[in-house]
Chains A and B, each alone.
Chain A
Amino acid sequence: QKEVEQDPGPLSVPEGAIVSLNCTYSNSAFQYFMWYRQYSRKGPELLMYTYSSGNKEDGRFTAQVDKSSKYISLFIRDSQPSDSATYLCAMTRMDSSYKLIFGSGTRLLVRP
């Protein structure tokens, strides 16, 4: 079983929809959670990072962490065609190293 599970999609939504992306994890030692967006043939771009349970909002993006359920989410409001990309969750134990464990990524397509 992988340490981080993420539905690969693809997820297809109409423009303006609210998108919900999720990851589950098995290692309770993970303390730091991130969401990256990756366009085709590009490197991952950091969208959000959170350290604790709860919600964090940045523009149209909201990251949610539930450590008790080992479940994290990313919500995208008013989705745009330019949001079409692969979204990767990542997490780390934050010990003496910055080793990130990634989910497999969810492909999102926002239809005009």
Chain B
Amino acid sequence: KAGVTQTPRYLIKTRGQQVTLSCSPISGHRSVSWYQQTPGQGLQFLFEYFSETQRNKGNFPGRFSGRQFSNSRSEMNVSTLELGDSALYLCASTSGATDTQYFGPGTRLTVL
């Protein structure tokens, strides 16, 4: 089975721009979660989608948003980028059978 894939792997943007990141979960997994990882804050939960519905949301500003499509693929969007948004953004898909989350390689976003 193919793992979780994320595109793009690397991204450089400037302050004020917006960005869209994409995630394809493992085949058959209906839940997709997004996390932000920074050296200072570690791994923090952004939001989770299940069957195209947002089930939970972390403590991030409204500039961070996401969506899930009928094929379970998910996108997250960050608008009006700030320097502090520079991070590794990780997507995880969850097996409904075992409730375990599998992570993709991440998208490294640099905001200049």
Contact = CB atoms under 8 A, between A and B. Distances in A.
A98 B99 contact: yes
8 closest A-B pairs by CB: A97-B56, A43-B103, A102-B43, A104-B42, A43-B105, A97-B55, A98-B94, A44-B103
A96 B53 CA distance: 12
A61 interface: no
Interface of A: 32, 34, 36, 41-46, 49, 88, 90, 94, 96-105
Contacts of B64: none
Interface of B: 4, 31, 33, 35, 42-45, 48, 55-56, 58, 90, 92, 94, 98-106, 108
A100 to B, nearest CB: 6
Contacts of B56: 96-99
A41 B37 CA distance: 11
A99 B58 contact: yes
Interface of A is mostly: loop
Contacts of A32: 99
10 contacts: A43-B105, A43-B106, A45-B103, A90-B43, A97-B56, A100-B43, A102-B35, A102-B43, A102-B44, A105-B43
A88 B88 CA distance: 15
B87 to A, nearest CB: 13
A98 B48 contact: yes
Contact of B104 (A43, A49, A88, A100): A43
A105 B15 CA distance: 29
Given A34-B100, A36-B103, A88-B43, A100 B33 contact: yes
Nearest to B100: A49
